[in-house]
Amino acid sequence: MAEEQVTVFMKDIRSLKMCSAGTRSFFERHGLDWSRFLKEGLPAEQFEAIDDHMSQQVAEAARGRRGK
């Protein structure tokens, strides 16, 4: 059975007390679509593919919210 996709939303970033200005800069550095993220979120896999502690924390927060 295929695993359900987990989506990262701004609430996941806020749950980690990360600021939106720093997050936006992070998105620019890593080529992530900020506008799309704000509208519909982005797959946790996109964050997990980045070799960065912050992105790993964000993906974990989203998976934790989903109970996975």
pLDDT, one tens digit per residue, over 4-57 is: 789 999 999 999 999 888 999 999 999 999 999 999 999 999 999 999 999 999
Q: Which domain holds residue 46?
A: 7-65
pTM to 2 decimal places: 0.86
pLDDT bucket at 66, cuts 50 / 70 / 90: low
Tokens, residue 9: 């939303």
31 within domain boundaries: yes
Which pLDDT does position 19 carry in this prediction? 87
Tell me if 2 is assigned to some domain: no
Where does the pLDDT of residue 65 fall: very low under 50, low under 70, confident under 90, or very high at 90 and above? Answer: confident
Beta bridge partners of 42: 8
Q: Is position 1 within any domain?
A: no
Cα(68)–Cα(64) distance, integer angstroms: 6
* Distance separating alpha carbons of residues 67 and 62, to the nearest angstrom: 9
Task: Provide the terminal-to-terminal Cα distance of the chain, rounded to the nearest Å.
Answer: 15
Domain count, the chain: 1
The C-alpha atoms of residue 3 and residue 5 are separated, in whole angstroms, by 6
